[in-house]
């Protein structure tokens, strides 16, 4: 599967029907998801690996990893409704590609997640509604894996960089995107507002 094909496949997946503002439910744009997943694939962080998608929502990141040959993906989210959409997405992909995906679903607060995997790929809440939500996810990801791909607001870069380094991880890559926030939430005035979002690849330092 090429990067373009991946982006197309991901663009067909379902997203939140009624996003819950207090949980900061913004889906990752399919083009951006494909870009990061493709980079992860090229670095050998996906094929044959066990992946965790923390705050998985409707599952675009984990499903993309499975499409690129991940051995297994665990989808974790506090919202059961979001994960049931993720399950529908799994069924959709399996049907369209005549394949079987090894996906597990965990409805729980990220604080309760206690599995170990090869790679975490996550787009957690940015912490605009729940202060520290972003660092809560980062801490958990660092317990769960030695290689992590994570999205945060670009404006918090200095803070995230310092947080990562203070926790025994190194930043190997950083990408920045114009992130479309579609008008799915009442407080957005413009139809599509764009914010700058960064993606970090971080690895544990031994
Ligand atoms: N990763 C998905 C969704 C991003 S939105 C994507 O890229 O499309 C952030 C997700 O984090 C939402 O699905 C929300 O339900 C979940 N979330 C928010 N707080 C959480 C918490 N404390 N524990 C687990 N999941 C949480």
Q: What is the mean pLDDT of residues 22-31?
A: 94
Going from the C-alpha of 127 to that of each of 25, 47, 61, 152, 165, the distances in angstroms are 11, 31, 19, 9, 20
Q: Which domains does the chain have, with CATH numbers?
A: 27-204 (3.40.50.150)
Ramachandran angles phi, psi of 75, nearest 5°: -105, 120
Contact between residue 42 and residue 63 where contact means Cβ atoms under 8 Å apart: no
pLDDT digits (tens, 9 = 90+) for 32-61: 999 999 999 999 999 999 999 999 999 999
What residue spans of the chain are helical by DSSP H?
A: 3-11, 30-42, 60-67, 80-97, 133-144, 157-166
Q: What is the mean pLDDT of residues 115-127?
A: 96
* CA gap 101, 201 in Å, rounded: 25
pLDDT digits (tens, 9 = 90+) for 57-114: 999 999 999 999 999 999 999 999 999 999 999 999 999 999 999 999 999 999 999 9
Q: Give the residue, by CA position, lying nearest to ligand 1 atom 6.
A: 27
**Residue 89 Cβ < 6 Å to ligand 1:** no
Task: Check residue 59 and give its pLDDT.
Answer: 98
**Residue 57 Cβ < 6 Å to ligand 1:** yes
Ligand 1 atom nearest to CA at 56: 1
Mutating to test ligand 1, I would choose from 58, 121, 125, 140 the residue with most ligand atoms within 8 A of its C-beta, which is: 125
pLDDT digits (tens, 9 = 90+) for 141-180: 999 999 999 999 999 999 999 999 999 999 999 999 999 8
Task: Check residue 187 and give its pLDDT.
Answer: 58
Q: Give the residue, by CA position, lying nearest to ligand 1 atom 17.
A: 55
Task: Check residue 188 and give its pLDDT.
Answer: 55
What residue spans of 157-203 are helical by DSSP H?
A: 157-166
């Amino acid at each position: 599967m090429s990067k373009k094909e991946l982006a197309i496949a991901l663009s067909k997946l379902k997203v939140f029907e009624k996003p819950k503002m207090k949980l900061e439910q913004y889906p990752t744009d399919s083009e951006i998801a494909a870009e990061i997943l493709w980079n992860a694939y090229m670095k050998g962080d996906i094929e044959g690996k066990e992946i965790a998608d923390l705050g998985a929502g409707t599952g675009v990141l984990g499903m993309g990893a499975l499409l690129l040959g991940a051995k297994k993906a665990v989808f974790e989210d506090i919202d059961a409704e979001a994960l049931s959409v993720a399950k529908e997405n799994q069924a959709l992909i399996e049907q369209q590609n005549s394949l079987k995906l090894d996906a597990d679903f965990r409805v729980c607060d990220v604080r309760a997640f206690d599995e170990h995997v090869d790679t975490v790929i996550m787009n957690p809440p940015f912490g605009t509604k729940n202060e520290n939500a972003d660092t809560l996810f980062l801490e958990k990801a660092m317990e769960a894996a030695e290689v992590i791909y994570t999205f945060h607001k670009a404006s918090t870069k200095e803070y995230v960089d310092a947080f990562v380094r203070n926790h025994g991880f190194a930043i190997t890559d950083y990408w920045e995107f114009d992130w479309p926030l579609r008008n799915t939430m009442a407080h957005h005035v413009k139809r599509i507002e764009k914010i700058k979002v960064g993606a970090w690849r971080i690895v544990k330092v031994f």
